[in-house]
Amino acid sequence: CIPLAFQSRKLFAFEWESPETGRKKQLTWTRLPQGFKNSPTIFGNQLAKELEEWKTAEVRESPFSYTILQYVDDVLIAAEEKEICLKLTIALLNMLGQAGYRVSKEKAQLLQGSVIYLGCEISQGQRRLGTNRVEAICAIP
């Protein structure tokens, strides 16, 4: 969803051959492509900038009543009060949609007392390695 500057697009050009006709075409990405080595960093920095602008312009809650963590494309909203968490979640989802981001419904863990974030289980002010991480560590010979 991050547009490439027009002058950068030629750097992302590639040749594609149609399997049906054998005809070759030169194409270029117009958006930041997945798989480019710097894409996660660029994406994470852009999202962090937009989250900061959103918090400054839109969030009316006291900054002491919630926490927002972001790592690349993973975002965690935590609040002691469920109402604040719900309000922030709805506002964040609206902002992301309006900015052109897509949110995975399958990955979303909305208004849960315990969540998995970056492989750690976070619950009631505590964190521990998630089950998948523990199993992977135990499987090391």
Alpha-carbon gap, residue 27 to 21, rounded angstroms: 16
Residues 99 and 59 in one domain: yes
Domain boundaries, position 19: 1-33
Q: Reduced to 3 states, what is the DSSP secondary structure of residue 141?
A: coil
* pLDDT single digits (tens) 88-131: 999 999 999 999 999 998 999 998 989 999 999 999 889 999 88
Residues 83 and 50 in one domain: yes
**pLDDT value, residue 64:** 83
Residues 63 and 121 in one domain: no
Q: What is the CATH number of the domain that holds 100?
A: 3.30.70.270
Residues 58-66 have a mean pLDDT of 85
**Least confident range of 49-53, 75-79, 121-125:** 121-125
Using the CB atoms, write b or e for 93-126: b if 16+ within 10 Å.
Answer: eebbeeeebeeeeeeeeeeeeebbbeeebbeeee
Residues 3 and 16 in one domain: yes
Q: How many domains does the chain have?
A: 3
Tokens of 15: 């040749």
**pLDDT value, residue 42:** 94
